[in-house]
Amino acid sequence: MKNEIKTINRRGFLEHSAKITAAGFLMSRLPAESKKLISFEGEIKVALIGCGGRGTGAISQALEADPDVRLVAMADAFGDQAEECLKTLIEKFVDSEKINVNRETIFTGFDAYKQAIDMADVVILITPPAFRPLHFEYAISQGKHVFMEKPVATDVAGIRTVLAAGKEARRKKLNVVVGLQRHYQRSYQSIKNKIDRGKIGEIISGQVYWNSGGVWVRPRETGQTELEYQMRNWYYFNWLCGDHIVEQHIHNIDVANWFIGSTPVSAQGMGGREVRKGKDHGQIFDHHFVEFTYKNGQVVASQCRHQKGCMNRVEEVFQGTRGNVTTNSSHFGLIKNKRGKVVFNHEGENDINPYQQEHNELFSAIKAGDYRMDDTNRGAEATMSAILGRMATYSGEKITWDEAMDFDHKLVPELHSFNDNAPVQPDKEGNYPIPVPGVSTYR
């Protein structure tokens, strides 16, 4: 890696751009070249791959994790997303020298990730999930430490790629953190500790929930190719998102795996589209219900729903032979005995934000020269568990873990430009193929 990197003369730049409101104009004002900054001992160079809202949040947390972290490269398929991300970062870190990029180090297009990754010591992977296996594999091949968001894939082929790259990461002693941040949240950690010490006995059943009103929709714009439209509206296409059981409900399914200590051996369930079923809602279901069965006979009932005006619930509940436990992301962890008496209550109003903590621990390990962060298998297992649930709801069949892992299941094609064919196409009325239980195979 080069000992020198190009950087924005940030104070001079801000003097000329204080009134900028359009991100595109901001990018046009960036110098192609500017003074060079000599790298200093201990500096950690970071590349951001995927510059949407979550990418902007993740890189902000990475920059705040250690005073020596520097953003040196950015990559996104869409230039406007990179522009908006950079604008936000410059405004947020106005009094620091952490944003060391210029027009030469902001890359766009389908192969942009390679150029950005090559410049960094640590890579932040926050694109739509479809591209995670490809980007993770390349980052590890180039010897980079990685933070990657969940889920880590949308199909079984992607899971296999991630597992293989994770094995290589361990061989190379690279740190990998996956954005299943409940593992870095003190309330969940304290409850898991109590479970391991037998506070509720053996877990025999559970219920996990992500029921909400849903997320954004991005309408089709004039001049977009079909592939660009789908990538802009990525949440609603299975090959890109994995459906919300994979993209969102993975958090709760992951907690079930974590607390029970294994992955499901089988899944069966139901789902469909009752409310959110317009053309702009692509292919995905608006509700899923899955029964996951684990190796010791535990059954976890899994619910996720995107329907407005209904009961919202995002938490996990487990029943043990000696007591029950309830957890959620609001720093809440509660254990009751069989008589209903509270025996443990985590009061965590002042707990550190787990989104920040996962970056704090990653960069602490990197700076110390330690190899202690290895989330790859856990992230792949949580993702595969959610994919297994999706296969069950889409097909209406009971599917075992081994059957799913053996399935020839590849949703994501090789892509090079927005003129490439999208892997799914609308019919003449603009409707996309929807899974039909009892008819569809695993998808």
The answer to whether residue 368 is domain-embedded is no
Q: Is the pLDDT of residue 205 over 50?
A: yes
Is residue 46 domain-shared with residue 122, that is, in the same domain?
A: yes
Q: Which of 14-18, 79-83, 161-165 has the lowest mean pLDDT?
A: 14-18
Query: Does 130 share its domain with 279?
Result: no
Residue 144: CATH number of its domain: 3.40.50.720
For residue 277, the 8-state DSSP code is -
Q: How sure is the predictor about 442, in pLDDT bands with cuts at 50, 70 and 90?
A: confident
Choose one of 148, 181, 214: the last residue of a domain: 181
Q: Are 107 and 206 part of one and the same domain?
A: no
163 in the same domain as 217 = no
3-state percent breakdown (helix, strand, coil) of the chain, nearest 5 = 40, 20, 40
Q: Is the pLDDT of residue 18 over 70?
A: no
What is the token pair recorded at 374? 């290895």
Instruction: Identify the residue whose tokens are 């195979």.
Output: 441
Question: Of the residues 147, 181, 215, which one is the last residue of a structural domain?
Answer: 181
Is residue 162 within 8 Å of residue 125, measured between CB atoms? no
* Burial zone of 416 (CB within 10 Å; 0-12 exposed, 13-18 middle, 19+ buried): exposed
Distance CA 411, CA 243 (A): 12
Does residue 33 have a pLDDT over 60? no
Residue 81 tokens read as 């997303």
Q: What is the pLDDT of residues 179-201, one digit of tens each?
A: 999 999 999 999 999 999 999 99
Q: Provide the 8-state DSSP code for 155.
A: S
Mean per-residue pLDDT, 398-406: 98
The DSSP-derived string for 43-75 is -EEEEEE--SHHHHHHHHHHHHH-TTEEEEEEE
The burial class, CB within 10 Å (0-12 / 13-18 / 19+), for 131 is buried
How would you label 330-362 residue by residue, b for 16+ Cβ within 10 Å and e otherwise?
ebbbbbbbeeeeeebebebeeeeebbbbbbbbb
CA end-to-end span of the chain: 42
- Residue matched to tokens 């998808």: 443
Are 56 and 116 in a shared domain?
yes
Residue 9 confidence (pLDDT) above 50 = no
Q: Is residue 440 part of a domain?
A: no
Q: How many domains does the chain have?
A: 2
Q: Is the same domain home to 148 and 261?
A: no
Question: Which domain, by its residues, includes 263?
Answer: 186-350+376-406
Same domain, 29 and 92: yes
Query: Is residue 358 situated within a structural domain?
Result: no
Do 263 and 153 belong to one domain?
no
Q: Domain boundary at 154, 181, 208, which?
A: 181
Angle between helices 79-92 and 53-65 (to 10 degrees): 40
Position 18 in a domain: yes
87 domain residue, yes or no: yes
pTM for this prediction: 0.92
